[in-house]
């Protein structure tokens, strides 16, 4: 099953890019798009690693729909199924980290004008409406049950709002790396000529709490290492003396094809 991601989640700052707890809200406005993400003191904001659960959910929904099966916002799975799909370990520690991720996804609240009829109308939701651990009459675990928000579910059901991503995405360990791959995949696709972004625009769109200088330093490291699967990155200057990040499809690696073929990836370490 090819991993799928929601375009809206790939385009805008919906998640914390840091592994440390973040409680400061994300406030983003660009044109008619408004986003506010709020966290609780108890759990902190959902991170870009927590978003792997949503990638798993989107992939399951799309695959079921493609097979002619009925889908629902209510989903059930074992922790093992989720963890192995996103390239994680299956130790007790990994299970506990998955539960913490579900708590952050459930407690993080979002208000956005995206896909609303008027920019004055906001849709408010959490990434997971509710979740619980299931057990039989003898108390033996049966897995996890969760309910997705209508905003996310409706977007996944629309083919134009979902993209296949490279399995190697799950191996990216840096928050900025992950965010940048998703943004590039969303805007760049397989365009032969590539694409470019103004660095200051990227910084604003990331929602990062890091100083701009630190953001630039991390960006240069990503370009130096060429760590994003399927893309080659670089820097150029334009006529206005701005620095632009450029990217184009890699000649070495290609995104996992729709027929299920894969470029291959190493086993993943702990990232939750």
Tens-of-pLDDT digits for all 272 residues of the chain? 899 999 999 989 999 999 999 999 999 998 889 999 999 999 999 999 999 999 999 999 999 999 999 999 999 999 999 999 999 999 999 999 999 999 999 999 999 999 887 656 899 999 999 999 988 777 787 899 999 999 999 999 987 789 999 999 999 999 999 999 999 998 875 566 667 888 988 999 999 999 999 999 999 999 999 999 999 999 887 656 678 898 888 865 544 434 344 443 433 333 33
Closest CA to 18 of 126, 175, 167: 175
Q: Please provide residue 130's backbone torsions phi and psi, each rounded to the nearest 5 degrees.
A: -165, 160
Task: Please tell me the predicted confidence (pLDDT) of residue 161.
Answer: 87
Task: Please tell me the predicted confidence (pLDDT) of residue 32.
Answer: 87
Q: What is the DSSP string of the chain?
A: ---EEEHHHHHS--SB--SS---SPEEEEETTEEEEEE--TTT-PPBTTTTHHHHHHHHHHHHHHHTT----SEEEE-HHHHHHHTT---SHHHHHHHHHHHHHHHH-EEEE-TT-SSTT--EEEES-SEEEEEE-TT--EEEEEEE--HHHHHHHHSGGGEEE--GGGGG---HHHHHHHHHHHHHHTT-TT-EEEEHHHHHHHHT--S-HHHHHHHHHHHHHHT-STTEEEEEEE-TTS-EEEEEEE-SS--PPPTTS-----PPP----
What's the N-to-C CA distance of the chain in angstroms?
22
Task: Please tell me the predicted confidence (pLDDT) of residue 255.
Answer: 45
Task: Please tell me the predicted confidence (pLDDT) of residue 267.
Answer: 33
């Amino acid at each position: 099953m090819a991993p799928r991601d929601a375009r809206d989640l790939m385009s805008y700052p919906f998640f914390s890019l840091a592994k440390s707890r973040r409680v400061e809200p994300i406030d983003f406005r660009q044109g008619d798009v408004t986003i506010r993400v709020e966290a609780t003191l108890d759990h902190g904001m959902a991170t870009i690693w927590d978003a792997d659960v949503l990638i798993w959910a989107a992939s399951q929904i799309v695959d079921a729909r493609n097979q002619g099966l009925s889908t629902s916002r209510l989903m059930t799975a074992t922790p093992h199924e989720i963890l192995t799909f996103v390239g994680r370990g299956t130790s007790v520690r990994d299970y506990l980290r998955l539960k913490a991720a579900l708590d952050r996804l459930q407690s993080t609240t979002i208000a956005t004008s995206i896909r609303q009829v008027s920019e004055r109308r906001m849709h408010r939701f959490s990434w997971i409406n509710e979740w619980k651990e299931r057990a039989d009459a003898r108390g033996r675990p049966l897995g996890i049950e969760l309910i997705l928000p209508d905003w996310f579910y409706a977007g996944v059901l629309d083919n134009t709002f979902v993209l296949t991503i490279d399995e190697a995405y799950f191996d990216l360990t840096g928050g900025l790396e992950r965010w940048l791959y998703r943004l590039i995949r969303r805007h760049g696709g397989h365009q032969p000529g590539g694409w470019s972004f103004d660095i200051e625009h990227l910084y604003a769109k990331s929602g990062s709490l890091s100083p701009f200088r630190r953001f630039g330093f991390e960006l240069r490291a990503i370009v130096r290492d060429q760590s994003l699967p399927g893309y080659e990155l670089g820097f150029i200057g334009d006529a206005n003396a701005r620095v632009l990040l450029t990217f184009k499809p890699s000649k070495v690696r290609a995104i996992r094809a729709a027929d299920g073929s894969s470029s291959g990836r190493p086993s993943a370490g702990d990232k939750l």
